[in-house]
């Protein structure tokens, strides 16, 4: 479970699309635990089946060179064999029960979004069958179908119908949507004049008020500011209690672990695992680690790939950045030190655990990292606090902090777990060259003329 | 909020199709989409409706000058008003089909990210063009009355002409919009072809003017639009004009354009149903 507790300290939000759902949902450790206890995992999978997928398969034809014009088609009438079949999904079967929060996780290109689009009736499966009970609404992206030239009022109705409401119904929910989005004063403003934050709020409000029995959501939630995020979380809990079914596609394991009753892991179009989110997370980490040792594990992380296994070692109950006064902040000014404050709860007995902290930039490049070892035996449930100052040489941009918890069992047997702790921004006006900004004293000086 | 204990019968998720998601929803989306387009056209430009009227009127002004002053087609009774009506009717066909070409691609986000009945997109284009046509027909009506055409009961038959025209327009719109994602040169081909059609349809002339050119007449009578325009002329402006059958030289001659008309409609349904499920993947 991730936790990030910064409430934006007033002023204009630096970036409104800076939170990940789970991170803000957690708010602080207590809320995080609340979410977990409300999770009623034991209750999941007992309701009636509302989504049933059987042996779903889908492949795309990728032309070797795209035949886009009639001339090409006519001049090469028999060149159809130049298609390459890309098998996006193979033999996927699963059930989702009513009231479940169901996660679909996988790496980029694993086929998870394709599966969601099949569920959403956007793609037709080549084989297999999907059946569904109740009204379904897909949310592949927030604000789809918004017409910038129209007012919020008109857009709400159009979008409501798009997401399965009747026209009258959509009209009658206008007030509820505007209240939820806190945009009542802007109802007759054209959408093109909205700020991106306002647009996101409106889109999300429509999604919530569309009140579908089954919501299919594709990582659209990674937007909005902290207060709004909290509101969204409340809504999700409320939806869940109301017996609505939510299918969420994501590659953020923290979201899955904190929100989902059950999760399924897809890899290369194949179903790897369906069941408990903790185990799903484990599968997912294993896949990631096995296939991409460089992503999170550098030489320090994985001295010998064969001996490294992934397991759940702990979870972050608190993760935040602080300012000089010790107040939590979401964004840091360029050059100001990063004060990290993280509390990790051990999930198992950890003998002399090693914490590897990585700061990644927007391109998932590890800008820098450091390793700390705690020479103690940590019992399950005990908490470890990582707190201290990090010199800030980062250029303005979006960053994330990961922590890898490593447990060395001796004889080269290594168990690691990656946790995404914090997303944050660095702001500043300095021109951005490269990925770090280092102090220099290089100055241009005019050379005296030589008579050579 | 709907009840938790809803209908829990599992139903097939059929995948995308021309009218997936039910008739009612499709109709509502059609209405809203067309309304949006219409508003965009008329409320975002300073002169709004005047612009859409200016185009056919200017074309009319040029053509009526050329063809009455230079080519002397003025022998056709009420030639100017006939020309205006023809231009407005053909304008509808041309506008709807040309805009339809890129319409599905233009609504890419909706097609790829929501469950959307594909047929609604070209239909909305036709519907928007139809709003436009209705407004323009008011002007035509004023011209018809002002130019001294005797009122007659056949005016009541005008909806038949309109229905025939809407039918073929919709069919062509369906074909070009569904093929465009795969064959991008449809856009150019159709632009050229619709211009050819403008001259291959009795707009500037009547079929009667073609008496001396039997080959040309045969070709033009293959055009399913030709009998529609001849009908409009007979029913609205000159009751003594020959009926389309008479102009063509017998009912048998009408079988060809009729067959083409039906063929285009059948082709439209077939092509659209074939393309609809995969359109999201082609974009």
Using DSSP bridges, classify how beta strands A397-408 and A350-351 pair: parallel, antiparallel or unpaired.
Answer: unpaired
CA distance linking residue A2 with residue A26, whole number of Å: 7
Q: Please count the structural domains in chain A.
A: 2
User: How far is the alpha carbon of A66 from chain B, nearest alpha carbon, in Å?
Assistant: 10
What burial class does residue A389 get, using C-beta atoms within 10 Å of its C-beta: 0-12 exposed, 13-18 middle, 19+ buried? exposed
State how far Cα B116 lies from the chain centre: 23
Q: Are residues A307 and A260 in the same domain?
A: no
Q: Are residues A325 and A271 in the same domain?
A: no
User: How far is the alpha carbon of A94 from chain B, nearest alpha carbon, in Å?
Assistant: 14
Enumerate the β-bridge partners of residue A372: A355
- Kindly state whether residue A133 falls inside one of the protein's structural domains: yes
CA distance linking residue B90 with residue B132, whole number of Å: 12
Task: Check pLDDT > 70 for residue B63.
Answer: yes
Task: Check pLDDT > 70 for residue A78.
Answer: no
Q: Are residues A390 and A267 in the same domain?
A: no
Tens digit of pLDDT for each residue in B217-243? 888 888 999 999 999 998 998 888 888
pLDDT at A25: 33
Task: Check pLDDT > 80 for residue A367.
Answer: yes
Which residues form the domain of A100? 46-70+84-286
Given a contact cutoff of 8 angstroms between Cβ atoms, the answer to whether A181 and A232 are in contact is no
Q: Which two tokens stand for residue B189?
A: 């081909």
Q: Say whether B11 and A141 touch across the interface (CB within 8 A).
A: no
Q: Are residues A394 and A356 in the same domain?
A: yes
Compute the mean pLDDT over every residue in chain A, rounded to the nearest whole number: 76
Phi and psi of B78, rounded to 5°?
A: 50, 45
Q: Say whether A144 and B113 touch across the interface (CB within 8 A).
A: yes
Mean pLDDT of A45-65: 82
Q: Are residues A207 and A101 in the same domain?
A: yes
pLDDT at A109: 79
CA distance linking residue A82 with residue B211, whole number of Å: 53
Q: Who among A73, A134, A141 is closest to B113 (CB)?
A: A141
Domain boundary among A244, A264, A286: A286
pLDDT at A364: 74
Q: Is A118 on the interface with B (CB under 8 A)?
A: yes
Q: Which two tokens stand for residue A219?
A: 């990582």
Termini Cα distance of chain A: 70
**What ipTM was estimated for this complex?**
0.79
Element (H, E) at B26: helix B23-43
Using DSSP bridges, classify how beta strands A338-346 and A383-390 pair: parallel, antiparallel or unpaired.
Answer: antiparallel
* DSSP code of residue B101: H
CA distance linking residue A170 with residue A206, whole number of Å: 9
Query: Given phi > 0 = left and psi -120 to 50 = alpha, else beta, which region is B162?
Result: alpha
* Rounded (10°) CA dihedral A345, A347, A352, A353: -70
Phi and psi of A82, rounded to 5°?
A: -80, 5
Tens digit of pLDDT for each residue in A368-418? 888 888 888 888 889 999 999 988 888 888 888 888 888 766 555 667 777
Q: Who among B12, B32, B281 is closest to A161 (CB)?
A: B32
Which residues form the domain of B118? 23-282
Q: Is A332 on the interface with B (CB under 8 A)?
A: no
Q: Are residues A361 and A416 in the same domain?
A: yes
Q: Are residues A51 and A163 in the same domain?
A: yes
- Kindly state whether residue A110 falls inside one of the protein's structural domains: yes
Between the CA of residue B212 and those of A59, B119, B257, what are the distances in Å? 59, 44, 21
pLDDT at B191: 94
- Kindly state whether residue A7 falls inside one of the protein's structural domains: no
Select from B84, B59, B58 the least CA-distant residue to B139: B84
Q: Is B15 on the interface with A (CB under 8 A)?
A: yes
* CB within 8 Å of B147: residues ≥ 6 apart: B78, B80, B81
CA distance linking residue B116 with residue A162, whole number of Å: 7
pLDDT at A414: 65
Helix B49-65 and helix B120-146: axis angle, to 10°? 60
Residues of B in contact with A154 (CB under 8 A): 36
* DSSP code of residue B12: E
User: How far is the alpha carbon of A245 from chain B, nearest alpha carbon, in Å?
Assistant: 10
Q: Is A359 on the interface with B (CB under 8 A)?
A: no
Q: Is B150 on the interface with A (CB under 8 A)?
A: no
Domain of A214, CATH number, reads 3.40.50.300
Q: Who among B1, B25, B44 is closest to A149 (CB)?
A: B44
Q: Are residues A248 and A371 in the same domain?
A: no
Q: Which residue of A has its CA nearest to B189?
A: A70
CA distance linking residue A266 with residue A289, whole number of Å: 15
Mean pLDDT of A237-256: 79
Q: Say whether A133 and B8 touch across the interface (CB within 8 A).
A: yes
Q: Say whether A121 and B14 touch across the interface (CB within 8 A).
A: yes
3 state DSSP class of B58: helix
pLDDT at A227: 62
- Kindly state whether residue A291 falls inside one of the protein's structural domains: no
Q: Say whether B182 and A68 touch across the interface (CB within 8 A).
A: yes
Using DSSP bridges, classify how beta strands A414-427 and A308-310 pair: parallel, antiparallel or unpaired.
Answer: parallel
CA distance linking residue A33 with residue B80, whole number of Å: 81
* DSSP code of residue B153: G
Tokens 């002397």 label which residue? B72
Q: Is A136 on the interface with B (CB under 8 A)?
A: yes
- Kindly state whether residue B2 falls inside one of the protein's structural domains: no
Q: Who among A50, A145, A211 is closest to B110 (CB)?
A: A145
Q: Is B28 on the interface with A (CB under 8 A)?
A: yes
Q: Are residues A140 and A254 in the same domain?
A: yes
- Kindly state whether residue B182 falls inside one of the protein's structural domains: yes
Q: Are residues A134 and A274 in the same domain?
A: yes
Q: Which two tokens stand for residue B168?
A: 């073929």
CA distance linking residue B81 with residue A218, whole number of Å: 57
Residues of A in contact with B4 (CB under 8 A): 242-243
Q: Say whether B14 and A136 touch across the interface (CB within 8 A).
A: no
3 state DSSP class of B40: helix
User: How far is the alpha carbon of B189 from chain A, nearest alpha carbon, in Å?
Assistant: 10
Residues of B in contact with A235 (CB under 8 A): none
- Kindly state whether residue B7 falls inside one of the protein's structural domains: no
Domain of A423, CATH number, reads 2.70.50.60
- Kindly state whether residue B111 falls inside one of the protein's structural domains: yes
- Kindly state whether residue A172 falls inside one of the protein's structural domains: yes
Between the CA of residue B121 and those of B58, B78, B186, what are the distances in Å? 30, 38, 17
Given a contact cutoff of 8 angstroms between Cβ atoms, the answer to whether A364 and A295 are in contact is yes
Q: Who among A70, A150, A163 is closest to B36 (CB)?
A: A150
Tens digit of pLDDT for each residue in B74-126? 577 888 889 899 999 999 999 999 999 999 998 888 888 888 888 999 999 99
- Between chain A and chain B, the number of residue pairs with CB atoms below 8 A apart is 123
- Kindly state whether residue B14 falls inside one of the protein's structural domains: no
Position with higher pLDDT, A16 vs A321? A321
- Kindly state whether residue B17 falls inside one of the protein's structural domains: no
User: How far is the alpha carbon of A200 from chain B, nearest alpha carbon, in Å?
Assistant: 16
Q: Please count the structural domains in chain B.
A: 1
Q: Average the pLDDT over each of A49-58, B152-161, B239-248 and give the range with the smallest value.
A: B239-248
Q: Are residues A258 and A375 in the same domain?
A: no
Q: Are residues A132 and A259 in the same domain?
A: yes
Neighbours of B191 (CB within 10 A): 13
Position with higher pLDDT, A143 vs B95? B95
Given a contact cutoff of 8 angstroms between Cβ atoms, the answer to whether A208 and A228 are in contact is no
Given a contact cutoff of 8 angstroms between Cβ atoms, the answer to whether A362 and A399 are in contact is yes
Given a contact cutoff of 8 angstroms between Cβ atoms, the answer to whether A152 and A202 are in contact is yes
Q: Which residue of A has its CA nearest to B41?
A: A149
User: How far is the alpha carbon of A68 from chain B, nearest alpha carbon, in Å?
Assistant: 5
Q: Average the pLDDT over each of A9-13, A100-104, A338-342, B25-29 and give the range with the smallest value.
A: A9-13
- 3-state SS, B158-216, equals HHHHHHHHHHHHHHHHHHHHHHCCCCCCHHHHHHHHHHHHHHCCCCCCCHHHHCCCHHH
Position with higher pLDDT, B268 vs A376? B268
CA distance linking residue B267 with residue B171, whole number of Å: 8
* Angle in degrees, CA B101, B105, B106, rounded to 5: 90
- Kindly state whether residue B16 falls inside one of the protein's structural domains: no
- Kindly state whether residue B6 falls inside one of the protein's structural domains: no
DSSP states of B235-258: III-TTSPPHHHHHTSHHHHHHHH
User: How far is the alpha carbon of B62 from chain A, nearest alpha carbon, in Å?
Assistant: 34
Using DSSP bridges, classify how beta strands A338-346 and A314-322 pair: parallel, antiparallel or unpaired.
Answer: antiparallel
Q: With DSSP H G I counted as helix, E B as strand and the rest as coil, what are the percentages for chain B, rounded to 5?
A: 75, 0, 25
CA distance linking residue A106 with residue B191, whole number of Å: 45
């Amino acid at each position: 479970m991730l936790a990030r507790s910064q409430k934006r300290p007033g002023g204009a939000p630096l970036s409104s699309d800076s939170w990940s759902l789970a991170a803000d949902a957690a708010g602080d450790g207590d809320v995080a635990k609340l979410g977990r206890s409300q999770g009623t995992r034991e209750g999941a999978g007992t309701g009636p089946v509302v989504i049933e997928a059987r042996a779903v398969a889908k492949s795309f034809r990728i032309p070797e060179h795209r035949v886009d014009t009639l001339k090409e088609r006519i001049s090469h009438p028999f060149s159809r064999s130049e298609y390459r079949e890309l098998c996006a999904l193979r033999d996927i079967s699963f059930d989702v029960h009513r009231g479940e929060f169901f996660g679909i996780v996988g790496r980029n290109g694993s086929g998870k979004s394709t599966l969601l689009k099949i569920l959403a009736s956007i793609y037709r499966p080549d084989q297999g069958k999907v059946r569904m009970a109740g009204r379904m609404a897909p949310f592949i992206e927030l604000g789809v179908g918004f017409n910038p030239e129209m007012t919020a009022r008109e857009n709400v109705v159009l979008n409501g119908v798009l997401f399965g409401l009747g026209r009258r119904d959509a009209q009658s929910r206008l007030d509820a949507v505007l209240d939820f989005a806190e945009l009542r004063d802007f109802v007759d403003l054209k959408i093109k004049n909205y700020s991106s934050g306002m647009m996101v709020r409106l889109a999300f409000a429509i999604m919530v008020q569309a009140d579908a029995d089954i919501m299919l959501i594709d990582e659209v939630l990674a937007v909005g500011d902290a207060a709004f995020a909290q509101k969204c979380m409340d809504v999700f809990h409320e939806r869940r209690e109301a017996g609505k079914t939510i299918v969420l596609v994501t590659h953020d394991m923290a979201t899955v672990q904190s929100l989902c009753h059950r999760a399924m892991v897809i890899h290369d179009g194949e179903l790897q695992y369906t069941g408990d989110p903790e185990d799903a997370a484990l599968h997912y980490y294993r896949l990631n680690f096995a296939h991409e040792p460089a992503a999170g594990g550098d030489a320090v992380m994985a001295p010998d790939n064969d001996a490294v296994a992934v397991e759940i070692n702990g979870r972050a109950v608190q993760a935040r950045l602080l300012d000089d006064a010790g107040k939590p902040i979401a964004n840091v000014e360029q050059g100001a030190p990063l004060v990290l404050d993280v509390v990790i709860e051990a999930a198992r007995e950890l003998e002399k655990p090693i914490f590897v902290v990585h700061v990644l930039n927007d391109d998932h490049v590890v800008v820098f990292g450091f390793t700390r070892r705690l020479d103690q035996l940590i019992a399950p449930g005990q908490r470890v606090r990582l707190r201290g100052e990090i010199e800030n040489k980062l250029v303005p941009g979006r960053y994330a902090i990961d922590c890898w918890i490593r447990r060395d069992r001796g004889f080269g047997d290594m168990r690691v777990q990656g946790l995404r702790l914090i997303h944050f921004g660095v702001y500043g006006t300095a021109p951005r060259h490269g990925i770090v900004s280092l102090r220099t004293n290089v100055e241009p000086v005019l050379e005296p003329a030589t008579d050579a | 909020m709907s009840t938790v204990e809803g209908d829990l019968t599992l139903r097939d998720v059929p995948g995308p199709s021309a009218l997936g998601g039910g008739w009612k929803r499709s109709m509502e989306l059609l209405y809203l989409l067309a309304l949006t387009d219409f508003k965009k056209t008329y409320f975002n430009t300073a002169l709004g409706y005047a612009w859409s009227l200016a185009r056919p009127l200017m074309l009319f002004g040029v053509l009526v000058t050329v063809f009455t002053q230079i080519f002397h087609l003025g022998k056709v009774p009420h030639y100017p008003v006939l020309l205006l009506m023809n231009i407005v009717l053909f304008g509808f066909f041309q506008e709807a089909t040309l805009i339809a070409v890129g319409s599905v691609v233009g609504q890419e986000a909706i097609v790829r990210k929501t469950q959307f009945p594909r047929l609604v997109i070209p239909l909305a284009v036709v519907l928007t063009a139809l709003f436009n046509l209705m407004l323009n027909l008011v002007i035509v009506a004023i011209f018809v009355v002002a130019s001294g055409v005797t009122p007659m009961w056949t005016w009541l038959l005008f909806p038949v002409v309109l229905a025939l025209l809407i039918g073929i327009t919709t069919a062509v719109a369906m074909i070009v919009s569904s093929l465009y994602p795969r064959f991008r040169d449809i856009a150019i081909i159709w632009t050229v072809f619709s211009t050819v059609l403008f001259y291959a349809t009795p707009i500037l002339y009547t079929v009667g003017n073609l008496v001396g050119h039997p080959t040309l007449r045969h070709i033009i009578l293959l055009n399913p639009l030709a009998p529609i325009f001849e009908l409009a002329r007979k029913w609205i402006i000159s009751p003594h004009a020959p009926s389309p059958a008479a102009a063509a030289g017998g009912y048998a001659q009408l079988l060809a354009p009729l067959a083409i008309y039906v063929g285009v409609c059948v082709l439209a349904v077939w092509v659209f149903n074939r393309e609809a499920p995969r359109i999201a993947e082609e974009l």
